[in-house]
Structure 1
Amino acid sequence: RPAWMSAKYPEVLRVQANRHRNLHGVRHNHCYTSPIYREKTQIINRKLAERYKDHPALLVWHVSNEYRGECHCELCQEAFREWLKVKYEGDLDKLNHAWWTGFWSHTYTDWSQIESPAPHGEHLVHGHNLDWKRFVTHQTIDFFKNEIAPLREITPDIPITTNFMGTYTGLDYWKFAPEVDVVSWDSYPQWHGEIPDWELGAKIGFVHDINRSLKGGKPFMLMESTPSMTNWQRVAKLKRPGMHLLSSIQAVAHGSDTVQYFQWRKSRGASEKFHGAVVDHCGHENTRVFRDVAEVGKTLEKLDEVVGTTVKPEVAVIYDWENRWAMEDAQGIRKERINYQLTCEQHYNTFWKQGIPVDVINMDCDFSSYKLLIAPMLYMVRPGVAERMEEFVAAGGTFVTTYWSGIVDENDLCFLGGFPGPLRKVTGIWSEEIDALYDCDVNFAVPVSNNALNLDKEYKAVELCDLIHEESAEVLATYKCDFYKGRPALTVNKFGNGKAYYIAFRSGIDFLSDFYMGLIKDLNISRVLEVELPEGVTAQKRSDGKNYFIFLLNFSNEEKTVNLPQDAVYTDMLRETRVEGNIVLPGYGIRILKR
């Protein structure tokens, strides 16, 4: 936004939570509610649509850039109140009950008394905070709809997207995704850093799978990536040889139909002048980075058959924005290291390493197509979710949930009658209390003899230990130490034709790996390749219903050998050769097979 607009129309500038209006500057500094700002953006977009509507290069409209932030001006305050009136059907009593405002005698008697959360005002009513976050998502989407209106009118057949930012916590992308024609996102991993590249590769795979799942498995777009380094991360380490192709093709392997960059040419000045680009300040193509980009382009040229294909996983992990918002605002059990996203990633990790595709969904999605449904730390359970989980398990599905699940409803009000609330029936346990351990503390979970998953070693229990009672569930492991020694740490409950597992303790990857390997075997969950993959290598696939396209990705800097299934014959799509037996992957190497 130019400076003249800020000077002429100060209402377009954002107001912070402390009620101070911003000065002109920075990138995201506009009020989503401002009628003037909405009018001006529509004028620009209408002119763009009219000018380029018949241009042969117009394939997709990319609207705005990385929506983020919030505004607390009077326009937004009034919009928030109107949104609340609709949600609570004009009934303040319903709002007061949902927010539990009687606590500390903070009851509202008039809509005009309600404001957005403020550091110097109300910010400790959790239902209030939760609804504000929901409103911010709503208002951002409403602004987006205003922006795209002239595009829909003038170019109705051109798809529209806006670039999401992975697991950015400021917006609920499950609410945003239905409004775009194709999901796109910006991926900027910090490769070659403090954790092994294959561990980071699994984390990025998790986010790719979210973006594929946001539209029910449809291909997405990798809207932004860097050919080399960024300018805003703590250390701008260059991608090592091979990593640019590997990380680009990883997006394709998980469902992207594009690989795109920010930026084409480095800016000469301002904040992103040192951000990676296809063309460096030298101004020519004789650079290592340009050659890496050209290599990606040549690779993509050979993958036309992959475009439009997808995958149908047998496993789903629930990652839910509203659940995260409520949990991180809860003021309970731990002030630090609640680690919801990390926990979800750890439950995902084993499947990525084993080459097993996974959908990453929210709790409102359809569960019926999966063999295994995993809901780590499902603190919030919205209406109808528990009933659908019961139906899923009763029909033969396997459900896994953990400590700190089934605690609150959609308003962040605690369930009464015992935790895990509406999940108590399907899990067959009652959680009496939960022990939060100091970072230096450790307990252990000890498997019982002859347990169904063949777990046979002690596992560390750290940070959170749920003290549960088995009701209809069978105990698979117990705590070793402290006053709850001998109490259940892992249970399974037979429910209809399926099973529900409850993991009562926070563990490391070692337990989750052994636990899920047992379930993979028990449920006969299919791998992309029915072979053991070497450490650092994953296998992902896409299919058009007739052919399978298999991506072997080596996130190690060392050479790795993959033993292909016996008697299986593939076509190497890049080399156009027949492949069987063994494949040798160089460090950061890829192979793409068709069968």
Structure 2
Amino acid sequence: MTKSDYTSLRMGVDYYPEHWDRSLWEQDALLMKQSGVALVRIGEFAWSRLEPREGEYDFAWMDEAIDLFGSHGIDVVIGTPTHTPPRWLTTKYPDVLPITPNGGVFQPGVRGHRCFNSRSLRRLGERLIEQLAERYAQHPAVIGWQIDNEFSMLDSQSEQATEDFRDWVYRKYGTLERLNQEWGTVVWSGEYSEWNQLTPPLGGSPYQNPSFLLDFARFQWDSIVDFQQGQISAIRRHCPDHFITHNFHSYPQRLDLYAVGEELDFASFDYYPNTSPEKAATSPYSGALSLDITRGIKRQNFWIMEQLSGSPGGWMPMWRMPQPGYIRAYVWQAIARGADTLVHFRWRSATVGAEQFWHGLIDHSNVSGRRLAEFVQTSAELQRLAPLLGQTSPKAQVAILMSPEQLEALRIQKQADSFDYYENIKTYHRVLTKLGIDCDVIDWRQPLDAYQVVIAPHLYLLDDEVAERLSHFAADGGTLVTTARTGVKNLQNVCEMKLLPGLLADCTGVTVRDYDPLGSDIVRLDDREGEQFACSQWADILEPADGGRTEVLATYGGSVFFAGEATITRHEFGRGETYYIGTHPEESYLRGLLLGIMQKVGIPYIEGLPASVQVSVRSGESGSYLFILNLGREPRRIKSLGAYSDVMRGEGLLSGKLYNGHEIELEPYGVEIFRLIL
């Protein structure tokens, strides 16, 4: 298998042969093959079985498992096991364990107990990975690797992390004089006079110097990238034709997703949409954003390395069990938004350990039930449609910019009660999703040439490079949407002595004369047609630029001191235009505003899309394919959106019933896929 083959559409399972008696392996592999399992992920938590004592390797069990899967035509992805260092390692090399911000030790017994700066972990982990890569480089069943598991920020205060942080800061600033100036350490007598005075933020207080805290986060991002790169190098020395990925999870992550993703062949995500009835109205939209974020890490299709198979539990009380059709519907949602391969967690519910109640496709009874049957149905559908859908991907004309630096800076200094960077991105994305508009969510420093509309929420930190890119985008004919708290600081997390929105003032055609951190308080918003809406979180009081090219779209109303002042504007800039949204309006206002923008620039949309119904398009050389998904518990109806042939049930893939203006009925968790007839 070559790297290009990872774009094929398939389904698999996560399997832990070390957890099960060998007598089960053969029957599991047989049932997997009969169920449509094309690949398994193994090994990511198995260090103690692969190296039971330092330097003593036992690969016999993994050889047997991989050979077994290979004999049944099931491919294998190996997870590197550094997420769970074994007890012999943490006992002999205690530098492996992170030191928490309160001075405690992150002890073994759960998982993730590894300091990314530990030299012992790097040396011993990479040595084991080199052994694995050399051993399985030529095995026909092994197709790729997953690095570690679910990276996240640890804020380790270990001796090695402290030393590495000093080195990182020294490389960035060179002198203590410059460091003190850039961080503004004169406040509270925080100036450094010797390098050994510089430590991580011991105690983890949120009220420390914000420039220092942001740089400590950046240092950790670089440490994780370096930790990963050591593993990637060890694998690529022996397995140049195998793909390498990592399984991101649970957004928002403080992690710099884009830096971690840079050296990967593709990104992966662990997708657990919430099954609880009270989350039914929001979970499909939160999930859609997570999938679009994952696609944006590499700006290409991705994998799901852990897909929900049953009720999660263990880390929290068990969720509701997925209703019939739920597993299938959310598989197709992921595919519709760019997933190529979906690996379900897990094959069978564990009988031991902390995750016994994180349910798999098969329950503890080891009796196949409806969840496995639903997997079998979905896998068969995917196999049948793979010749059409393979090599296709979403093609969005709208992008939302996301930035780990904004997320971290706004976490360090919360701007107002209820003001939340990620939740606000979620609002904009949800509005677009409800209009049936595909949207990329990309790193804020990525090129913008592919888009007609770019939404850039809360560019709290801003530099010349980003400001110039956004200004050029608008001047060249694009539509730029910016929001409150733009241009507040430079990249050192230091406030700029400029009228907001700082470097984007010319581009947006406004300045902020005053502001009011509204928090959870509700203020009235009046549009030009006299309609009234609610807004909250923040109130920028805008001063349109002279020259008549800035149009006021909405003002504040009610009894606030800034009633009648501008809050939302449109500005002609070059061949394009910019919108400035100085508050956080209720969703219905944003819907009307964004709908008007899409109509103006000619981006297709859908009015009246029923609640819980999502629409996405994947396109490629084989054509364009429309996915209509009901991700809710109630039946829905929708008119067909143009002339399409039904490929989900079509004979010979392309000869299904033609829809053109007819109404389509969607059962709960119903899935329809159509091919556009040109």
1:498-537 correspondence runs (5 A): 498-527=576-605, 532-537=608-613
Shift of 1:145: 1.2
| Partner residue, 2:633 | 557
Choose the corresponding residue for 1:200, options 283, 288, 308: 283
8 Å CA contact 2:541, 2:582 repeated in 1: yes
**Residue 351 (str. 1) matches residue 417 (str. 2):** no
Match of 1:461 in 2: 535
Aligned residue for 1:479? Answer: 556
Q: 2:428 aligns to what SS in structure 1? A: helix
Aligned partner letter, 1:229: S
Match of 2:229 in 1: 145
The answer to whether the aligner puts 1:79 opposite 2:164 as a matched pair is yes
Give the conservation status (yes or no) of the 8 Å contact 2:419–2:519. Answer: no
The Cα shift of 1:214 comes to 1.2
The residue number in structure 1 matching 2:375 is: 293
Whichever residue aligns with residue 544 of structure 1, its letter is G
Of 176-185 and 575-584, the range deviating more from structure 2: 575-584
Aligned-partner residue type, residue 561 of structure 1: R
User: Counterparts in 2 of 1:343-492, with a 5 A limit?
Assistant: 343-437=424-518, 439=520, 441-449=521-529, 456-472=530-546, 473-481=550-558, 482-492=560-570
CA distance in 1, matches of 2:317, 2:507: 45
Q: Please state how far the C-alpha of 1:592 moved relative to its aligned partner.
A: 1.2
1:578 is aligned to 2:657 = yes
Distance apart, 1:546 and its partner CA: 4.9
Amino acid at match of 2:102: N
TM norm structure 1: 0.94
Matched to 2:110, the amino acid is V
- Aligned-partner residue type, residue 570 of structure 1: S
Which secondary structure does the structure 1 equivalent of 2:322 belong to?
coil
Residue number among 250, 266, 272 corresponding to 2:333 in the alignment: 250
Question: Partner of 1:453 in structure 2?
Answer: none
Is it true that 1:277 corresponds to 2:360 in the alignment? Answer: yes
1:70 CA displacement: 3.5
Q: Deviations for 1:399-438, whole angstroms, at most 9, x for unmatched residues?
A: 1111111111111111212111111111111112321235
With over 3 angstroms needed to count, the CA separation of the structure-2 counterparts of 1:260 and 1:404, relative to structure 1, is same
Identity among equivalent positions (%) equals: 29
CA 120–223 in structure 1, closer or farther in 2 if over 3 Å, else same = closer
**What runs of 5+ residues in structure 1 fail to find an aligned partner?**
450-455
Over 3 Å counting, the alpha-carbon distance change for 1:121 and 1:164 in structure 2 is: closer
- How far residue 532 of structure 1 moved from its aligned partner, in angstroms, is 4.6
Partner of 1:160: 244
- Residue in structure 2 matching 1:315, options 384, 398, 401: 398
Task: For residue 121 of structure 1, report the CA deviation from its aligned partner.
Answer: 7.5
> Partners of 2:289 and 2:641 in 1: how far apart?
26
Q: Distance in 2 between matches of 1:427 and 1:118?
A: 41
Q: How many residues align?
A: 579
Q: How does the TM-score come out when normalised to structure 2?
A: 0.82
Residues 209 and 359 in structure 1, CA contact (< 8 A), matched pair in contact too: yes
Cα deviation 1:495-553 (Å, max 9, x = unaligned): 111111111121111111111111111111124xx675333211101111450011111
Q: Confirm or deny: 8 A CA contact 1:573 1:594 kept in the other structure.
A: no
Q: Deviations over 1:51-95 (max 9, x none)?
A: 22122221221121112224211111111111112222x222222
In the alignment, structure 2 segments of 5+ residues that lack a partner are 1-84
CA distance in structure 2 between the partners assigned to 1:509 and 1:59 by the alignment: 45
Q: 1:438 to 1:152 in 2, by over 3 A?
A: closer
- Segments ≥4 residues shifted beyond 4 Å: 120-123
Question: 1:415 and 1:222, CA in 2 relative to 1: closer, same or farther beyond 3 A?
Answer: same
Mapped partners of 1:234, 1:380: distance in 2: 39
Give the distance between the partners of 1:382 and 1:57, measured in 2 at CA.
48
Note closer, same or farther for the CA distance 1:422–1:279 as it changes in structure 2 (3 Å cut): same
What is the RMSD computed on CA atoms of the aligned residues? Answer: 1.8
- Aligned residue in 2 for 1:452: none
Structure 1 residue 191 displacement after superposition: 2.5
Classify the secondary structure of the residue corresponding to 1:584: strand
Distance in 2 (alpha carbons) for counterparts of 1:474 and 1:583: 41
**Residue 557 (structure 1) shift:** 2.0
